[in-house]
């Protein structure tokens, strides 16, 4: 039960990373970007604390969320990620030898953990090498310990503060729009969870007169392993804490009009520790006040 419960905590990390808009470019004053999205993952195996794969009862997490960013000034952008509906579940556990039902599946519905972010442009948006600094506050709004065994979760139950620096470049290539950006972040976690270091790189390009954007991402997370083995519960399994992974992802964004569009993406772990070994998917509809 503890392993299943604590693997859900690492799912929360993946949602947070996937929801954050990369790049050092703040919104212009009075401009914004708004997105309604669905994110989900279903997994029947996970990475252990040694990086090997083990099977588990099929588990899933589904988040329906609103994401928004708005330019308060030309250098200061406010951002909100709010999963207003989150569903975590376990499927029925069936005996592989007799086919009998061992345990009935369960599900938990609630809101999920939210993020509030302030991004400040350290340079002008049109600088040769734009840079930005962000403060991300993770709000523990999700439910912890649902279901008959308290193993279902839609949040991690801790308030975290992350400092993130982005740097990027958007070379002028004529009709083809390209950009590349990278980030480095430190995440301070509470409730005896270990702090984290995160980094990543994102490359994107537009075709069809900038109506179709293709994006690729590579994200890495390290645990500093400076908390209790199982977060706020010292008697629980080590699976509660110290997750690590290397993720690769691709995303497609298509503009249906000058401002309205749709998106779809997939993210998958290449390597990991204490995290589900399955891809995560997302689809969404966005409004871009460009």
Question: Which CATH number fits the domain that encloses residue 198?
Answer: 2.40.128.130
pTM comes to 0.90
Question: Average pLDDT in the 14-20 region?
Answer: 63
pLDDT value of position 60: 92
Which residues are registered as beta bridge partners of 194? none
Domain that holds residue 222: 2-288
Query: Residue 167: is its pLDDT beyond 90?
Result: yes
Query: What is the spatial distance between Cα 259 and Cα 274, in angstroms, rounded to a whole number?
Result: 40
Minimum mean pLDDT range among 28-37, 110-119, 123-132, 258-267 = 123-132
Query: Residue 7: is its pLDDT beyond 80?
Result: no
Which residues are registered as beta bridge partners of 172? 177
Number of structural domains, the chain? 1
Residue 224, CA distances (Å) to 187, 197, 221, 247, 273 in order: 10, 7, 10, 18, 13
User: Can you tell me whether residue 184 is helix, strand or coil?
Assistant: strand
Query: What is the spatial distance between Cα 270 and Cα 278, in angstroms, rounded to a whole number?
Result: 10
pLDDT value of position 8: 59
pLDDT band at 237 (very low <50, low <70, confident <90, very high): very low
Query: What is the spatial distance between Cα 241 and Cα 248, in angstroms, rounded to a whole number?
Result: 22
Residues with Cβ within 8 Å of 69's Cβ and at least 6 positions away in sequence, in order, are 21, 27, 32, 33, 77, 78, 79, 80, 119
pLDDT value of position 5: 53
Q: How many Cβ atoms sit within 10 Å of the Cβ of residue 104?
A: 10
Burial tier of 30 (Cβ tally within 10 Å: 0-12, 13-18, 19+): exposed
Percent of the chain residues past pLDDT 90, beyond the cut: 66
Distance of CA 151 to the CA centre of its chain: 21
Residue 183, Ramachandran bin (φ over 0: left; ψ between -120 and 50: alpha; else beta): beta
| Interval 175-220: pLDDT, tens | 778 999 999 999 999 988 999 999 999 999 999 988 999 999 999 9
Please say whether the beta carbons of 26 and 76 come within 8 A. Answer: yes
| Interval 241-266: pLDDT, tens | 788 999 999 999 999 999 999 999 99
Comparing 231 with 117, the larger pLDDT belongs to 117
| Interval 67-115: pLDDT, tens | 999 999 999 999 999 999 999 999 988 877 888 888 889 999 999 999 9
Q: What's the whole-number average pLDDT of the chain?
A: 88
pLDDT value of position 3: 55
Question: Average pLDDT in the 263-282 region?
Answer: 94
User: Can you tell me whether residue 229 is helix, strand or coil?
Assistant: coil
């Amino acid at each position: 039960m503890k392993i299943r419960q604590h693997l859900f905590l690492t799912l929360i990390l993946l949602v947070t990373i996937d929801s954050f808009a990369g790049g050092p470019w703040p919104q212009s004053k009075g401009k914004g970007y708004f997105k309604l999205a669905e994110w989900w993952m279903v997994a029947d195996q996970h990475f252990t604390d040694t990086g090997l794969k083990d099977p588990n009862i099929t588990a899933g997490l589904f988040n329906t969320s609103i994401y928004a960013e708005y330019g308060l000034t030309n250098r200061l952008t406010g951002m909100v990620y709010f999963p207003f509906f989150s569903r975590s579940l376990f499927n029925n556990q069936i005996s592989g030898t007799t086919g009998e039902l061992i345990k009935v599946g369960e599900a938990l519905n609630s809101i999920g953990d939210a993020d509030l972010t302030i991004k400040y442009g350290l340079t002008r948006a049109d600088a040769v090498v734009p840079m930005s600094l962000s403060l991300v506050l993770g709000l523990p709004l999700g439910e912890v310990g649902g279901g008959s065994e308290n193993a279902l979760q839609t949040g991690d139950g801790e308030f975290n503060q992350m400092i993130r620096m982005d740097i990027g470049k958007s070379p002028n290539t004529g009709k083809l729009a390209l950009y590349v950006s990278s980030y480095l972040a430190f995440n301070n976690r509470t409730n005896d969870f270990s702090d984290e270091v995160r980094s990543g790189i994102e490359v994107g390009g537009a075709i069809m007169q900038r109506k179709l954007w293709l994006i690729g991402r590579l994200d890495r997370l390290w645990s500093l392993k400076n908390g209790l083995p199982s977060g706020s519960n010292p008697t629980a399994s080590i699976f509660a804490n110290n997750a690590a992974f290397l993720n690769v992802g691709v995303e497609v964004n298509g503009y249906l009009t000058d401002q309205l569009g749709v998106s779809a993406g997939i993210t998958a772990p290449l390597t990991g520790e204490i995290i589900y070994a399955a891809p995560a998917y997302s689809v969404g509809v966005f409004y871009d006040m460009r």
